[in-house]
Amino acid sequence: MSTVGAMRSLAVLSLLMSLLLVACGTATTESTDKVTSGQGGSVSLDFTAQTVAGEAFEGSSLAGKPTVFWFWAPWCPTCRSQIPAVSDLAHEHGDAVNVVGVGSLDDGKAIAGFADQVGADVVQLADPEGAVWRHFAVTAQSTYLVLDADGSQVAKGYLDDAELADMVDRLAG
């Protein structure tokens, strides 16, 4: 391979690595890290999906309770670090708040493996084709979408564990 060819290959590899880091919801991500809050307006829960166990899931079943959607990918280190906080949140507020994980950006086996680590209190949807992500206009992991009991958006984007817990405490009130 020529020196020019090697340099081009290195440049392409460098670009791909940069995109991977940005796509994983790191602190350097400008557009996806910002939380939009108080957006109001009802979010459509009119969707169907499949749980990681293969059962049918109707989004309309979430109506009437605050809901936290957690959009994750199995290979995302940020998402992995959020497992304990999301599990605790669902365990603590499971009767008052729906907590729904939506795994995508990988195959069903990888999604199921990640979901097994989260815990039984979180409803886990397998979304390898990204249909649920598209329904909610989610473009990066880790993204939370928090809805109040009326289905209005309270926040969307990256939230740290404390921000999410405080928000859910208020909604569960």
CATH label of the domain that carries residue 165: 3.40.30.10
Rounded distance between C-alpha atoms, residue 114 and residue 93, angstroms: 22
Domain-located, residue 165: yes
What mean pLDDT do residues 32-36 have? 43
Rounded distance between C-alpha atoms, residue 77 and residue 164, angstroms: 18
Q: What confidence tier does 40 reach under pLDDT thresholds 50, 70, 90?
A: low
Element (H, E) at 133: helix 131-135
Rounded distance between C-alpha atoms, residue 163 and residue 168, angstroms: 9
- Its domain, for residue 159, covers 30-172
Classify 12 as helix, strand or coil: helix
Q: What confidence tier does 119 reach under pLDDT thresholds 50, 70, 90?
A: confident
What mean pLDDT do residues 68-95 have? 97
Q: Does residue 162 surpass a pLDDT of 70?
A: yes
The total number of structural domains in the chain stands at 1
Q: Taking Cα atoms as reference points, which of 97, 42, 38, 95 lies closest to residue 70?
A: 97
Q: Does residue 20 surpass a pLDDT of 70?
A: no
Q: Does residue 39 surpass a pLDDT of 80?
A: no
Rounded distance between C-alpha atoms, residue 58 and residue 14, angstroms: 41
Domain-located, residue 22: no
Mean of pLDDT over the chain: 84
| 27 or 126, greater pLDDT | 126
Give percent of the chain with pLDDT exceeding 90. 74
Q: What confidence tier does 70 reach under pLDDT thresholds 50, 70, 90?
A: very high
Domain-located, residue 2: no
Domain-located, residue 117: yes
Residue matched to tokens 């090697």: 6
Q: Taking Cα atoms as reference points, which of 39, 80, 44, 69 lies closest to residue 164?
A: 69
- List phi, psi (to 5°) of 66: -55, 150
Q: Taking Cα atoms as reference points, which of 98, 105, 113 lies closest to residue 71?
A: 105
Domain-located, residue 1: no
Q: What confidence tier does 41 reach under pLDDT thresholds 50, 70, 90?
A: confident
pTM of the model: 0.79
What mean pLDDT do residues 112-126 have? 96
Domain-located, residue 106: yes
DSSP assigned state of 19:
H
What local confidence, expressed as pLDDT, does residue 32 receive? 37
Helices (H), 35-128: 77-93, 108-118
